[in-house]
Amino acid sequence: MEYWTRGHIIGHGATAAVSVATSQISGEIFAVKSAELSQSEPLQREHKILSTLNNPHIICYKGCNISVENNKPIFNLMMEFAPKGTIADRILRIQLDETSIGYYTCGILKGLEYLHSKGIVHCDIKGSNVLLTELNEVKITDFGCAKFADEAAIGGTPMYMSPEAARGEEQSFPADIWALGCTVIEMSTGKSPWPNAAATLRRIAFSGESPEIPDFISGEAKDFLSKCLRVDPKQRWTAKELLRHPFLDEFRFEHLEKIEDNTCSPTSILDHGIWSLVEEEVLSETPCEVNYEDLSDSPMERIKELATNSSGRANWEWRESWIIVRDSEK
């Protein structure tokens, strides 16, 4: 994209920040993840993988460039904008029922099946790395830890790491399946899959335990999780096998739409202040804190809220704070 306008930051990590952006040519709204060029090696690695992918359940790659802002070269990775935020955002606001959990799980698995067919391990599947579009499509995002299966690197978020990865042995496709199981527990309970963050990594690595499966979920859901959370990676089901599990057979998409319509999920750029995408360092565990207030249904009132709110949401105070960006090569 040659000319685009950078808006306010909607997520950030140790080396990169995510902003909402608008094309000056087409008016398209997208997300841009940016880092100073001198610190952009992780982001360039993410670009290398994401730019090769094309699947309905993977966040869409839009391009990249190097811009100069405040006399500093900036590496920019452009991606699809998903206005309804992450699954982690969603479970902070409402208790998901099993119909919704089944739908989201199926979308994540379809994305994982595609990645694994390409020889790619995501390495950091969790609720905060799964986005929802305006049409409720499930999109895996944040490929900062992703790698090819034959690479030796190990990374991700400790709470979602498989035992073999926590021991530093290997991190291949079964590790993503373990993380998926942890994410299903996260969606079911609204909590971390493990109760004690401080002692988690050693416990995962050497105790031979798996996260506790909630008592209140259905028998099919429990059986599904038992296939994901087998300590021996060779015994875990693959993404393809799990997509045929009975737990995913009977979710009702019509019911999901009703749930979505009755909540305060963002439905347009006016609601982007409750959208969060957090890049995390390898082996980091930084929870995403979002202030969820009641949102007005009136566009005029919503604009007024955005213009006056100082609690962390974007301040849409005219366009003086927006940056016009063009490719440094132009």
**From 89, 124, 142, 176, active-site residue:** 124
Same-domain check for residues 60 and 92: no
Domain stops at, among 25, 55, 80: 80
107: Cβ–Cβ under 8 A, 6 or more apart, which residues?
Answer: 57, 130, 137, 138, 139
Residue 106 domain-assigned (yes or no): yes
Range of 180's domain? Answer: 85-256
Residue 50 has pLDDT above 90, yes or no: yes
Say whether 33 counts as a known binding-site residue: yes
pLDDT tens-digit series, residues 11-40: 887 789 999 999 999 999 999 999 999 999
SS3 123: coil
CATH number at residue 173: 1.10.510.10
- Average confidence (pLDDT) over 112-131: 98
CATH number at residue 68: 3.30.200.20
Same-domain check for residues 14 and 121: no
Residue 283 domain-assigned (yes or no): no
Q: Is the dihedral of CA 145, 173, 201, 168 positive or negative?
A: negative
What's the number of domains the chain is made of? 2
Q: For the beta carbon of residue 290, count every other beta carbon within 10 angstroms.
A: 18
pLDDT tens-digit series, residues 149-207: 999 999 999 999 999 999 999 999 999 999 999 999 999 999 999 987 767 889 999 99
Task: Note if 124 is an active site residue.
Answer: yes
